[in-house]
């Protein structure tokens, strides 16, 4: 059965989970976790979304994200790609790090946001990783409670649902989360609703989601423009770019095009792969090789920058 398409509209809030390939570790040490949080921050600066909560477990991660114009698929693709590239470099290994696609449930934030943040923060307790969420260093709980500062974390909207202000609000939030440990976990946050597993909310909310998500997303950078610039630079036609075989000139053009797709967020590598008749893993590998070359070869780096400059005009 074909997968249902992702639901997107500006302002949509999602609970996102992403597991390691074969449940392998995706965070081996604190350097890994620190790097991943830095990449989250860079993604926020690039795409303008908000992160309301996070929790980094050894073999999987959880995020609560509110998107702006850029769909969640582009945000997560770039985050996953950049972290995998860094992780494999740092640990001197190859291959896939994550297990297929991430899972995302679109929630009604007016009803479920605060409780979802609590469940994300309680996950280390429910998993037996820690006895108190405050003791777990790699979630957003301590930032919510004023114990540390995470400048890119958005806490205002969930905290508005706490009926206190100032220090009392921080204390009340911690108590609210701890109270949740005495209750059963809310499985709806991983299963969605009976009507549609992609959405969690009332019937009216679900109907509104489908109405909003039918609005066609228009990326800030047009993928047709990106392709045209690459085709002009390499003096190729669309058919030549997509032709089977291993022509080096065409392969280099495809690699630059895939890199530009990732950098601009104009579309996914999946969409590009379908157009070119290539799978995502081969495009990702081509980008990786090109990026490694650009680190050592000034000419390669300069060519990429010139292409980016043309796109931005």
Given 213, 240, 267, the domain boundary residue is: 213
Q: Based on the fold, state whether residues 69 and 182 are members of the same structural domain.
A: yes
Is 5 among the domain residues? no
pLDDT of residue 222: 85
Domain boundary among 185, 213, 241: 213
Give the number of other Cβ atoms within 10 Å of residue 109's Cβ: 21
Q: Do 43 and 73 meet the contact criterion of CB atoms below 8 Å apart?
A: no
* pLDDT (tens digit per residue) in 7-18: 888 899 999 999
- CA–CA distance, 313 with 308 (Å, rounded to integer): 9
Mean pLDDT of the chain: 89
Are 180 and 306 in a shared domain? no
State whether 132 and 234 are in the same domain: no
Q: Is the domain of 31 the same as that of 170? A: yes
Query: 73, 68, 11: which is closest to 209 by C-alpha?
Result: 11
Range of the domain at 263: 223-312
Residue 216 confidence (pLDDT): 54
| Phi and psi, residue 136, nearest 5° | -90, 120
Does a structural domain hold residue 6? no
Instruction: Report the pLDDT value the prediction gives residue 1, as an integer from 0 to 100.
Output: 42
Q: Are residues 143 and 288 in the same domain?
A: no
Together in a domain, 230 and 306: yes
The span from the CA of 85 to the CA of 272, in Å, is 20
Residues 289 and 203 in one domain: no
| Low-confidence residues of the chain: pLDDT under 50 | 1-2
Helix H or strand E encompassing 56: strand 50-56
Say whether both 184 and 231 belong to one domain. Answer: no
- The CATH number given to whatever domain includes residue 261 is 1.10.1750.10
Domain count, the chain: 2
287, 268 contact by CB (below 8 A): no
Residue 3 included in any domain: no
| Final residue of a structural domain among 178, 213, 248 | 213
């Amino acid at each position: 059965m074909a997968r249902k398409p992702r639901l997107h509209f500006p302002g949509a809030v999602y609970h996102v989970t992403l597991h390691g390939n074969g449940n392998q570790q995706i965070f081996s040490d604190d350097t890994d976790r620190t790097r991943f949080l830095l990449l989250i921050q860079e993604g926020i600066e690039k795409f303008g979304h908000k992160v309301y909560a996070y929790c980094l477990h050894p073999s999987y991660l959880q995020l609560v994200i509110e998107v702006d114009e850029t769909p969640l698929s582009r945000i997560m693709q770039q985050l996953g790609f950049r972290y995998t590239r860094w992780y494999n470099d740092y640990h001197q290994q190859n291959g896939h790090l994550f297990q297929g696609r991430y899972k995302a449930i679109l929630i009604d934030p007016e009803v479920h946001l605060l409780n979802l943040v609590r469940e994300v923060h309680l996950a280390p307790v429910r998993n037996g990783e820690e006895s108190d969420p405050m003791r777990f260093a790699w979630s957003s709980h301590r930032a919510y409670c004023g114990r540390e500062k995470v400048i890119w974390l958005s806490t205002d909207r969930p905290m508005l649902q706490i009926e206190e202000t100032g220090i009392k609000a921080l204390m009340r939030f911690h108590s609210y989360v701890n109270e949740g440990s005495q209750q059963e976990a809310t499985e709806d946050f991983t299963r969605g609703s009976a009507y549609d597993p992609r959405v969690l909310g009332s019937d009216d909310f679900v109907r509104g989601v489908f109405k909003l998500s039918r609005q066609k997303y228009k990326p800030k950078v047009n993928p047709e423009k990106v392709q045209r610039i690459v085709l002009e630079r390499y003096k190729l036609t669309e058919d030549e770019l997509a032709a089977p075989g291993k022509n080096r000139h065409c392969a280099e053009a495809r690699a630059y095009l895939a890199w530009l797709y990732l950098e601009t967020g104009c579309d996914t590598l999946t969409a590009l792969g379908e157009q070119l008749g290539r799978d995502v893993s081969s495009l990702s590998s081509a980008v990786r090789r090109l990026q490694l070359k650009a680190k050592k070869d000034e000419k390669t780096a300069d060519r990429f920058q010139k292409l980016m400059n043309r796109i931005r005009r």
